[in-house]
Amino acid sequence: MQSQMLMDARSYEQEAGKKITPEQRPAFHLVSRCGWMNDPNGFSYADGAYQMYYQYYPYASHWGPMHWGHAKSQDLLHWEYLPCALAPDMQYDKDGCFSGSAATLPDGRVLLMYTGEEKRGQAEFQQQCVAVGDGVDFEKYAGNPVIDRTKLPADASTHHFRDPKILLKKDFAGGDGYYMVAVNQTGDKNGQVLLFSSEDGFQWKFETVLIRGDGRFGQMWECPDFFSLDGKEVFLTSPQDMLPEGYEYHCGDGTLCMVGTLDHETMHFTEEHNQAIDYGIDFYAPQTVQTPDGRRVMIGWMQNWDACSIRDEDAPWAGQMSLPRELFMKDGRLCQRPLQEYEALLEERVSYENEVFAGGAMRELEGVSGRVLDLSLEISPVDEADLYRRFEIRFACDGKHYTALSYEPDEGILRIDRSFSGSRRAILHQQCCQVNGDRRNVQLRLVLDRYSVEVFVNGGDQVMTTAFYTDLSAEGIQMGAFGGAGARADVLACEYTG
């Protein structure tokens, strides 16, 4: 039996979703069917398709009592909306069905695990709940919440305890059944990851604190993921209230990846390396899935809590998912490249070799324009001894608006700036990263899709993601080099033919 609240959401989204034309949405990035979307949830492969659930408030373009939206796809680029999967219709989740994950049970049923948010007077409780179903309709388990505050270790907040990510035991220590990682806050205001285990997905037992923050990474962590990749264990999370550290971590809400090893006996994780997952303005709460052919693919929410007001109140949809990115390790770092299925849909439009830019003149290259474009550049100085100061690419340009990506080879600083994108808010519009390795010769690849840019630096060694909501009529792309003897670039522009 579906609740009235869920049925209302389902009929509302059907009508509201129809009013949004495909042209108003990105070409291949998933956005909410209508209303508001935040984190990816339950990203999985089931029933012969990729399943993506998401944090969802169908009724407005701002956050509200969280539902779970649902879409599926064969290739992670073409999405079909399915009916809203969960509504906050129980006492234990009355203030929201927060983020979580999915698993297919041995009998073929789909299990969703999520955080029930329940306010009681001034107090706020977050507790883990499950729902089972056929992949479209789900029934909340009568024994919910399956993990409440009584199962928490000492020094664990009962309020900040959320975002369960189910893992298969066979991917770690071996054996049947499940692990689950959830994030929590310690008494001294650090994020920590709690590890639970279960034989059947319904009865859960606390195992250990898998990773504990030590003051370096914000005050609370959100949306954990944990998996093996190329012989290492990788932990992903999105810390809140970060202090900046050089150009690696920005202040505010950010992303963190720890690479290390896991002792399967003690389930103790040893950190060997840490880095940001994405260095741009808008990337948060990513989840990964393993494809049937063994690739580890990540999708994040292409927005930042600190800058949500960039989207107008009357926008038909708010919140986009990132491009699906294949993860790989290189020299101990987590790297990302666009999904193979996306690459297969690209066709070369135009290319230029050794194009020289100098004197600060911004110019267009014939054939290089548009809001859906895959643009690669290899940039080097014309004269090492007379180094250019800045190379700049402006896109989504009309006479008045543009968003700019600029590179300063001296310090290796890559900057994204959407101040002139048409935003009317005094919010975060710029973000920087420092390019690793060779600063003189840099490769930049911009994946543009109407309202976003994802910049893959040096083959995916670093990625910078930013959303912008400039009117779609702004299609120009310009490039130029400032200072010194200028820069030369090989430029390749490819069309998305999907």
Applying CB under 6 A, the residues found at the interface with ligand FRU are: 38-39, 55, 66, 98-99, 115, 162-163, 222-223, 284-285
* Residue 161 three-state SS: strand
* Smallest distance from ligand FRU to CB 163, Å: 5
The span from the CA of 194 to the CA of 180, in Å, is: 8
The span from the CA of 378 to the CA of 192, in Å, is: 41
Among positive and negative, which fits the CA dihedral 301, 307, 312, 313?
positive
Closer by beta carbon to ligand FRU, 301 or else 357:
301
Closer by beta carbon to ligand FRU, 44 or else 101:
101
- Report yes or no: 64 and 71 within 8 Å, Cβ to Cβ: no
Closer by beta carbon to ligand FRU, 62 or else 295:
62
* Smallest distance from ligand FRU to CB 98, Å: 3
Closer by beta carbon to ligand FRU, 68 or else 357:
68
Q: Is 490 a catalytic residue?
A: no
* Phi, psi torsion values for 394, nearest 5 degrees: -110, 135
* Smallest distance from ligand FRU to CB 250, Å: 16
Closer by beta carbon to ligand FRU, 276 or else 487:
276
* Smallest distance from ligand FRU to CB 117, Å: 8
Closer by beta carbon to ligand FRU, 69 or else 422:
69
Report the residue number whose CB is nearest to ligand FRU: 98
Which uninterrupted H or E stretch holds 166?
strand 156-168
The span from the CA of 182 to the CA of 210, in Å, is: 10
* Smallest distance from ligand FRU to CB 55, Å: 4
* Smallest distance from ligand FRU to CB 334, Å: 20
The span from the CA of 92 to the CA of 363, in Å, is: 58
Pairing relationship of beta strands 256-263 and 268-275 according to DSSP bridges:
antiparallel
| CA distance to 85, 285, 430, per residue, from 71 (Å) | 10, 18, 32
- Report yes or no: 414 and 406 within 8 Å, Cβ to Cβ: yes
Q: Among 178, 174, 177, which Cα is nearest to 166's?
A: 178
Catalytic residue among 39, 253, 449, 461: 39
The span from the CA of 308 to the CA of 284, in Å, is: 12
Residues with catalytic function: 39
